[in-house]
Amino acid sequence: MGLGTVRRTVLVTGAAGFLGSHLCDRLLAEGFEVVGLDNLMTGDLINLDAAGRHPHFHFEIGDVREKLPVYAELVFNFACPASPIHYQHDPYATLTTSVLGAQRLIEMARGRNCTIVHASTSEVYGDPLVHPQPESYWGNVNPIGERSCYDEGKRCAETLLHDAYRRWRVDARIVRIFNTYGPRMAFDDGRVVSSFITQALMGQPLTVFGDGAQSRSFCYVDDLVEGLLRVATVSPFEGPVNLGNPGELTIKDLATLVLELTGATTPIAWRGLPVDDPRKRKPDITKARRLLKFEPEVDIRDGLVRTITNFRERLAAMANQRQRGVQFAPAISLDRQPLRDLASVLPEYVEHVRSCGDAYRTGERMTAAERMIVVSESLGNLHNTLVLALNDAPTNAELRAVDDQLCALLAELGQAQADQDGVRIADLLEHETLPLLARCRAECPA
């Protein structure tokens, strides 16, 4: 294996959610090694059915509020309940997931070559007094309302991440995501697009809250994911950026459109407007256009048709499964699996890191910055591979072999600690990778 040929590892927190799972699919298609983390509070393994069958996808059940299980040089932070009924169900979990999650990510990224793309939200603008909303608008948010756990949690996470950038140059990239829709939205998430489509397809009345004159601007998920990838790679990145589709429509017009596109003839059921429901929302995407050349391509009719098709298929599959008395079996198993490929994969990574270490020492062929990236990426990958492989219950002999290799590698790297970055890389190995290995060896039957 030549230098720089190891796949880049990306961590996606909230991977089993609607947006997280679409992001994982796209990252796998782009050739990344993807580690998905989710505590399944609102996410669903069914969303990772395709990703779970991919050889370069790894799933870890875990909570972003706790120490992160892997080191990655690119992180997409999507862990947080995001629909009003979900995030209001457990306000404490919602707020702490945003705030402590951001803190954990900063701890992982500080002093390392790591980019964090953080999913913030248009909710930071609250019930906006400026329309459309540019990034420079500070918002109009109730700090103690029913939406506050989400709005204020996301605002606080932005503060933490931006301070980490200001103080420690952590490459934290804040994206304010406006209403997004598409295949895989949960039937029961209470969001307006998923609710209307489900109701129309099931022949139920469409529940319009208030007089339906409130507006939203809906972005199709593929457009959003394209924008997210551009955020991850653009250089330099500047401050928070809005992502969404500025095409605005009222909720009443959306109901009419869903009825037309589904062919449903069900009536509208008028319901009371929820507390603090923003009256209007539309992103100003001038900055995304300039910085990312971002331009949403899927119009609302086209996006809704694709979404309706997906909802129809899923409802039919569910009905079929019910009829046959079978249950969905996810491609990802949460049980420990027998060892898959530790023996073959790890030595390959160790060899790769060693050759990078050589190049690092001798300074051949690469600039200092390139060497830094290759060595730390390789070590990050090595660390991740180990973490993931350890979940597969390796034997003690296999662990001992890896341990020996890592110790030798660390000794070599010790001599290569010419600058601060070298020290940090060796730190990862010494303080995280090796202790982890020691713990696993201690737990492993002889």
Residues making contact with ligand UDP (CB under 6 A): 83-84, 179, 190-192, 195, 207-209, 214, 216, 251, 274, 277
Tell how far CA 27 is from the center of its chain: 11
How many distinct helices (H) and strands (E) make up the chain? 15, 13
| Cα–Cα dist 174/163, whole Å | 12
- Beta bridge partners, 73, equal none
Query: Cis omega before residue 236 (within 30°)?
Result: yes
| Cα–Cα dist 419/207, whole Å | 62
Query: Given the complex with ligand UDP, which of 178 and 349 has the nearer CB atom?
Result: 178
- Residue 22: CB minimum distance to ligand UDP, A: 17
Question: Which of 364, 346, 446 is closest to 405 using CA atoms?
Answer: 346
- Residue 18: CB minimum distance to ligand UDP, A: 12
Residues 6+ apart with CB under 8 A from 202: 315
Could you give the C-alpha distances from 124 to 77, 128, 181, 229, 372, in angstroms and in order?
A: 16, 9, 19, 22, 37
- Residue 65: CB minimum distance to ligand UDP, A: 23
**Residues 215/247, Cβ–Cβ less than 8 Å:** no
| Cα–Cα dist 192/189, whole Å | 9
**Residues 94/53, Cβ–Cβ less than 8 Å:** no
- Residue 213: CB minimum distance to ligand UDP, A: 10
| Cα–Cα dist 43/273, whole Å | 27
Phi then psi for residue 74, to 5 deg, are: -140, 125
Query: Given the complex with ligand UDP, which of 142 and 391 has the nearer CB atom?
Result: 142
- Residue 210: CB minimum distance to ligand UDP, A: 6
DSSP E strands, 14-54: 33-38
- Residue 214: CB minimum distance to ligand UDP, A: 4
- Residue 244: CB minimum distance to ligand UDP, A: 11
Query: Given the complex with ligand UDP, which of 186 and 409 has the nearer CB atom?
Result: 186
Phi then psi for residue 98, to 5 deg, are: -65, -50
- Beta bridge partners, 120, equal 176
| Cα–Cα dist 124/136, whole Å | 12
Query: Given the complex with ligand UDP, which of 145 and 274 has the nearer CB atom?
Result: 274
- Residue 64: CB minimum distance to ligand UDP, A: 21
Count of CA atoms in the C-beta half-sphere (13 A) of 414? 7
Query: Given the complex with ligand UDP, which of 4 and 190 has the nearer CB atom?
Result: 190
Q: For this structure, is 150 an active site residue?
A: yes
Q: Is the dihedral of CA 53, 56, 60, 64 positive or negative?
A: negative
Query: Given the complex with ligand UDP, which of 8 and 252 has the nearer CB atom?
Result: 252
**Residues 373/113, Cβ–Cβ less than 8 Å:** yes
Which H helix or E strand runs over 60?
strand 57-61
Query: Given the complex with ligand UDP, which of 132 and 357 has the nearer CB atom?
Result: 132
Which residue among the candidates 71, 150, 181, 349 is catalytic per the annotation?
A: 150
Query: Given the complex with ligand UDP, which of 21 and 194 has the nearer CB atom?
Result: 194
DSSP E strands, 98-155: 115-121
Q: Which residues are catalytic?
A: 150
